[in-house]
A and B are shown apart, each in its own frame.
Chain A
Amino acid sequence: MARRVAIDPVSRVEGHGKVTLLVDDDHHITEARLHIVEFRGFEKFIQGRPYWELPLVVQRLCGICPVSHHLAAAKAIDQIAGVDQLTEPALALRKLMHFAQVLQSHALHFFHLASPDLLFGFDSDVAKRNIVAVIRHHQTLALQGVRIRKFGQQVIEAISGKRIHGIAAVPGGMNQPLTADKITPFKQQVTDIITWCDETVQTVRDLFQANRDFHENFGTAPAAFLSLVGPQDQLELYDGEIKVIDANGQLLHRQPCDQYHHLLQEQVKSWSYMKFPFLSDLTPDTGWYRVGPLARLNTCSHIDTPKAEQRRQEYQALLGKTVQAPLAYHWSRMIEALHCAEAIAVLLDDPALLSDDLVNQGNKRREGIGIIEAPRGTLIHHYRINEQDQVTMANLIVSTTNNNQAMNESIRRVANDHLNGRELTPELLNLVEVAIRAYDPCLSCATHAAGKMPLQLELMGTDGARLGSLTRHSDGSIQHAD
């Protein structure tokens, strides 16, 4: 029996991720706990604010995915404004902005944060496993990564005025159309972007296959998957129904978004600020699930852009229909990036982008639920307002929260596979980082380069005694403490 340990948040070094491993007498890791301090106090902050402010306020919630929060809140306030159907131009602009966000986010994650690990091996020297080395040894790839990301950011900027924290969505629509001269340069670039994304999928595939055994088993802990899907079960990032499949790929649920609160419950744990969502008809221990690119490629039946669909088929032919390996996140992520690039190309030809028929109106409601597939997975915004248009209730389940238990389970698996006796080593810490990184969590610690994630690893005995601690700072230096 493992004892629970109370964690004092103040003792934590600011910006560091912290993981506690609970070890029993047989040297088994019974539990892994990733302590998360992000996303606190926000629900209170917006009490009393007028609802139309939400898309702007929530952009400040997370420094890593502001556009996703902007759009999820926008979808919720559409409903409050009584608008179930956007105008065609507004929908086209929202989707374009969203695809651009997912594209740039996936590009950032792969090229800046994950590629050094993937290209040079997880156990290679940290000094050589960094973005500088990627640029030196894989110059074309690195350059393409920079340009893919920039492309996405520029599309966002064209629509909202800024790369981050722009102003675009309003209740029932969007505020401004695009102009032909803003679109032209994107049209010229998008074919290259598609080609480069496709090449990157190839690269990730080859890297995965080259060390197949390791990649398939690393941090793997089978679980259910949750995401939105489109009407024909296609990959859908902006809007759709919630689909849940079990670890074997069997359909568990398919429900409209406004039913999410029947589908999900959240468990509170004393040691974490972040809640633990689980499927209501199961228990917290059996009902946890995964979200994000890996989940989306498992739940969807196809992708409605040709190149990404071809890559999806190849991916499933090689890995199976329901892929459990966390490291396959990287592969699925780049297939999604390819899909976004293709979808952007289609949208750029849509004359609706130039129309100023941008806002629909309806009869005011008191409640709105906006669910979107953010780069890191399903993102839920739920609000209620009073008769004075002020927010009275906000419930947010961010992508990283949806993956909370999954990350812990992957860390536990990694620790069980790689912990040698009871000694915490820099190698283990490194592998824990790789497991966390696969999920691309929007945590401040995860914005640091590969091998530089500021992370504290702590080992606890069954009696609650601290058996050891190992801290790596963002400069890569390691600190032991017992």
Chain B
Amino acid sequence: MSDQPQFQLDGQPIPFQPGDTIMQAAHRAGVYIPHLCFHPQFRPHGSCRLCVVNMQGKTVSACTQPASIDLEVHSETTELRQSRLRLIQLLFAEGNHFCPSCETSGNCQLQALAYDLGMTHYHYDPFYPTRIPDGSHPELFIDRDRCIQCDLCGRASEQADHKAIYLLAGRGQHTHVAFRSDDGELGSTQAQAEDRASHVCPVGCILPKSGNYPDIAGARLYDQIPIHAQGNHRRDDGGTHDD
């Protein structure tokens, strides 16, 4: 027995360190709590609401809720799975997601969670938003239609690249990924293909302009192993799989 403090997640003891959130502790222990905007290397954003768990009768975001001793936390309940499914369905309806031709298909965390949660249909009427793509950068293409507003690009650009290029602009339904440049185009920023921000998007929004579709069907990240079993990875993590 370790004398590290623990809490209970779906009946399983999870050790934690001082300052950990529920998500951080679970992640370190290798126990999966569904999420999209959380990334262990960046400050939590608490926006996607997928990691909402039940903590002694209250619903809290696991990525922002500090862990504390003897907490009883429930994540894999029928109700929470259902509300996560609805959140995912809403994300599909809010963007324009045409998976069959999306190059992130098979490597996409949104799609992988949709499969995991048993999504079979849209449920909500699609909004069909009109969002302008940005192809101004020589090495990167931005497909705003698939953005889920997780701000991982913004956080990576600020906290890892120290460039603060990406941000979320607009409100509500009109929220969209934008860039800090005079003309608002990515091509006018200091963004580079090697930046952390260029590789952090969990969906098919920030795309390289070369080396696309590297895998045949069936050989992609989530084709064989579901996301709850392997976590939130990106194809180009380079094997480090830090999330």
Chain A residues in contact with chain B, CB under 8 A? 48-50, 52-53, 56-57, 59-60, 159-162, 165-168, 170-171, 175-176, 386, 388-390
Contact = CB atoms under 8 A, between A and B. Distances in A.
Nearest to A53: B101
A59 B216 contact: no
Counting chain A CB atoms within 10 Å of each CB, the highest count among B102, B135, B143, B219 belongs to B135
A175 B215 contact: yes
Contacts of B215: 161, 167, 175-176
Contacts of A159: 216
Interface string B93-118: 00000001111000000000000000
Kindly list the 4 A-B residue pairs having the minimum CB-CB distance in the complex, ordered from nearest. A388-B135, A161-B217, A161-B216, A56-B101
B100 A175 contact: no
Nearest to A54: B101
A48 B145 CA distance: 11
27 contacts: A48-B133, A50-B135, A50-B141, A50-B143, A52-B103, A52-B209, A52-B212, A53-B103, A56-B100, A57-B101, A59-B100, A59-B101, A159-B216, A161-B215, A161-B218, A161-B219, A165-B100, A167-B213, A167-B216, A168-B216, A170-B212, A170-B214, A176-B215, A386-B135, A388-B133, A389-B141, A390-B135
A228 to B, nearest CB: 26
Contacts of A50: 133, 135, 141, 143, 207, 209
Contacts of B134: 388
Contacts of B207: 50
A175 B213 CA distance: 7
A166 B216 contact: yes
A436 B192 CA distance: 55
A388 B136 contact: yes
Contact of A162 (B141, B212, B217): B217
Interface in B133-158: 133-136, 141, 143
Interface SS of A by simple majority:
loop
A159 B133 CA distance: 32
A388 B143 CA distance: 12
Interface in B114-140: 133-136
Interface string B188-229: 000000000000000000010100111111110000000000
Nearest to A390: B135
Contacts of A52: 103, 209, 212-213
Contacts, number: 66
A60 B98 CA distance: 11
B103 A176 contact: no
Contacts of A56: 100-101, 103, 213
Given A56-B103, A57-B101, A390-B135, A160 B213 contact: no
Contacts of B213: 52, 56, 167, 170, 175
A313 B214 CA distance: 44
A181 to B, nearest CB: 15
Counting chain B CB atoms within 10 Å of each CB, the highest count among A159, A386, A390 belongs to A390
Contacts of B209: 50, 52, 389
Contact of B101 (A60, A162, A168): A60
A232 to B, nearest CB: 34
A386 to B, nearest CB: 8
A356 to B, nearest CB: 11
Given A53-B103, A56-B103, A57-B101, A175 B135 contact: no
B185 to A, nearest CB: 9
A176 B134 CA distance: 29
Counting chain B CB atoms within 10 Å of each CB, the highest count among A50, A57, A160, A171 belongs to A50
Nearest to A45: B98
A160 B219 CA distance: 10
A176 B141 contact: no
B131 to A, nearest CB: 10
A59 B215 CA distance: 17
A170 B143 CA distance: 19
B84 to A, nearest CB: 28
Contacts of A53: 101-103, 212
Given A56-B213, A166-B217, A167-B215, 20 more contacts: A50-B135, A50-B141, A50-B207, A53-B101, A53-B212, A59-B100, A60-B100, A60-B101, A161-B215, A162-B217, A162-B218, A167-B216, A170-B212, A170-B214, A175-B213, A176-B214, A176-B216, A388-B133, A389-B141, A389-B209
A60 B212 CA distance: 19
A53 B146 CA distance: 15
A24 to B, nearest CB: 48
B101 A160 contact: no
Contacts of A386: 135
Counting chain B CB atoms within 10 Å of each CB, the highest count among A165, A167, A388 belongs to A167
